[in-house]
C-alpha cells in the first residue's frame, strides 16, 4: 500500500463564511457536484437539511464508462469552518477529505484537502496513477464550483431571514417549546423570528427576545452555518447573553421555556432546522460552562 501526498484545491467565494458553510453541507449541492463528475450519491437527507457529524454518504464512483465502484464515507466533524469526512468502506484502505473555510477581505477561501492510501501491488499503483488522481481532481473541481454558485446565490438573494437566539446562562441554553401551528406543536426550537424591514439581525434578535421571552439580551456573535429553510428563507443563529444575569424568561408565545444542559440537548424533539445546530450548540455550551467552574 502507498499513501499519496495531500491533494489540495482552493477557490475564493464572494460570500460570508456562515453562508459558504451552508452550501458546503447541503446534500443537494453534494449530489449535483457528484453528478457533474459522473458519480452517483445516496444521501442521508434527501428532502433537505444539512450534513451533521455521524451522517453517512454512499457513492457510486465512476472509474470507467459503465463501471462504478461503491464507496461509503461518514462525516467525522462539521463546524462553521471545517467539514471532515472519513472512509467507512470502499476499494481503498484509507481516504480522508477535509474542507476548511477561512474569511478574507474579498470573501471566503475554501480549501479542499484529500489524501488516501492506494491498494497494494502493481495493479493498485497503476490504478492510482492513471485513474484515481484524475477522478479526485475532477470531483473536487466540480464540488468547489457547485459550492461557489450556491453560496453566492444564498448571499445575493433577498429571501426572508429568520434569526434564532442561542440565549446562554451559566453553560445552559434556553429552549422554547412550540404551541402552534398544530404540525409542530410540542417540538422545541431556539426562540426568534423574522427580521423586519429596516432592522439589523442583531436588532431583530433583541426585539424577538423581548416579545417572546420578556427578557433583554445582548447579541454576542454568530453561531453555526446559515440554515436554508423550506420555502426559500434562511435561519441565522446569533448568541444572546442576558443583559440582567438573574432575569427569568417567560413563555409569552410558547408552550414552555426551559434551560437545557449540554448533555440534554439530544433529548429534546427539536425542529428540523434547529436540530442541525445541536452539535455546535453543545460544543459552545461546553466551552461556556468551563468559565463557571
pLDDT tens column, 103-150: 999 999 999 999 988 777 666 666 665 677 888 889 999 999 999 999
Strand bridging mode 217-222 / 94-104: unpaired
The answer to whether 278 and 265 are in contact (CB under 8 A) is yes
pLDDT digits 0-9 by tens, 207-225: 999 999 999 999 999 999 9
Question: Which residues make Cβ contacts (< 8 Å) with residue 154, sequence separation at least 6?
Answer: 15, 19, 22, 23, 226, 228, 234
* Same domain membership, residue 166 and residue 129: no
- 135 and 7 in a single domain? The answer is yes
Tell whether 121 and 253 lie within a shared domain: no
213 with 250: CB under 8 angstroms?
yes
* More confident position, 48 or 31: 31
In a shared domain, residues 194 and 119: no
Looking at the structure, tell me whether residues 284 and 248 fall in a common domain: yes
Domain boundary among 138, 156, 174: 156
CATH number at residue 129: 3.30.530.20
Co-location of 241 and 107 in the same domain:
no
Average pLDDT score, the chain? 90
Q: What is the CATH number of the domain that holds 194?
A: 3.90.79.10
Q: What pLDDT sits at residue 125?
A: 64
Measured CA to CA in angstroms, residue 142 lies from 45, 115, 132, 161, 168 at distances of 21, 18, 15, 29, 40
Pairing of strands 227-228, 234-242: antiparallel
SS3 of 274-285: the string is: HHCCHHHHHHHH
3 has a pLDDT exceeding 60: no
One domain, residues 139 and 167: no
Please tell me whether residue 177 adopts helix, strand or coil conformation: strand
Query: Do residue 13 and residue 141 come from a single domain?
Result: yes
Among 134, 156, 178, give the residue marking a domain's end. 156
- pLDDT of 1 over the 80 cut: no
- The Cα diameter of the chain in Å comes to 70
Provide the 10 A C-beta neighbour count for residue 274.
23
**Tens-digit pLDDT profile for residues 16-41:** 999 999 999 999 999 999 999 999 99
Shared domain check, 67 and 117: yes
Statement to judge: residues 216 and 244 lie in one domain: yes
DSSP 132: I
Quote the pLDDT of residue 262. 92
Beta bridge partners of 116: 95
* Grid coordinates belonging to 237: 443563529
Look at residue 65 in the predicted model and tell me its pLDDT: 85
Q: What is the pLDDT of residues 230-265, one digit of tens each?
A: 888 899 999 999 999 889 999 999 999 999 999 999
> What are the tens digits of pLDDT across the range 146-190?
999 999 999 987 789 999 999 998 889 999 999 989 999 999 999
**Dist. CA 283–CA 8, nearest whole Å:** 28
On the question of pLDDT at 4 being above 80, the answer is no
- Domain boundary (130, 156, 182) is at 156
Q: Is 17 found in the same domain as 150?
A: yes
Asked whether residue 183 falls in the same domain as residue 281, the answer is yes
- pTM above the 0.85 mark? yes
Q: For residue 292, what pLDDT band results from cuts at 50, 70 and 90?
A: very low
207 burial (CB, 10 Å; 0-12 / 13-18 / 19+) is middle
Check the CA dihedral 190-191-197-201 and report its sign.
negative
Say how many domains are in the chain: 2
What residue numbers bound the domain in which 235 lies?
161-290
Amino acid at each position: 500500500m502507498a499513501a499519496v501526498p495531500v491533494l489540495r484545491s482552493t477557490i475564493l467565494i464572494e460570500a460570508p463564511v456562515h453562508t459558504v458553510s451552508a452550501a458546503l453541507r447541503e446534500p443537494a449541492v453534494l449530489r449535483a457536484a457528484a453528478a457533474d463528475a459522473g458519480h452517483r450519491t445516496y444521501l442521508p437527507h434527501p428532502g433537505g437539511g444539512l450534513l451533521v457529524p455521524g451522517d453517512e454518504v454512499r457513492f457510486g464512483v465512476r472509474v470507467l464508462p459503465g463501471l462504478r465502484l461503491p464507496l461509503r464515507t461518514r462525516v467525522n466533524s462539521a463546524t462553521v469552518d471545517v467539514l471532515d469526512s472519513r472512509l467507512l468502506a470502499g476499494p481503498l484502505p484509507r481516504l480522508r477529505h477535509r474542507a476548511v473555510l477561512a474569511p478574507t477581505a474579498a470573501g471566503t477561501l475554501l480549501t479542499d484537502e484529500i489524501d488516501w492510501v492506494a491498494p497494494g501491488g502493481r495493479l493498485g499503483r497503476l490504478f492510482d496513477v492513471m485513474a484515481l488522481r484524475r477522478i479526485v481532481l475532477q470531483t473536487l473541481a466540480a464540488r468547489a464550483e457547485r459550492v461557489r454558485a450556491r453560496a453566492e446565490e444564498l448571499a445575493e438573494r433577498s429571501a426572508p431571514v429568520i434569526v434564532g437566539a442561542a440565549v446562554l446562562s451559566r453553560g445552559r441554553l434556553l429552549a422554547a417549546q412550540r404551541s402552534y401551528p398544530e404540525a409542530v406543536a410540542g417540538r422545541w426550537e431556539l426562540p426568534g423570528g423574522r427580521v423586519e424591514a429596516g432592522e439589523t439581525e442583531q436588532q431583530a434578535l433583541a426585539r424577538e427576545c423581548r416579545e417572546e421571552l420578556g427578557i433583554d439580551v445582548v447579541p454576542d456573535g454568530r453561531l453555526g452555518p446559515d440554515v436554508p429553510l423550506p420555502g426559500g428563507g434562511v435561519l441565522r443563529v446569533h448568541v444572546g447573553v442576558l443583559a440582567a444575569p438573574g432575569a427569568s424568561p417567560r413563555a409569552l408565545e410558547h408552550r414552555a421555556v426551559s434551560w437545557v444542559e449540554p448533555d440534554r440537548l439530544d433529548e429534546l424533539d427539536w425542529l428540523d432546522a434547529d436540530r442541525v445546530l445541536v452539535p455546535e450548540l453543545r460544543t459552545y455550551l461546553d466551552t461556556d460552562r468551563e468559565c463557571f467552574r
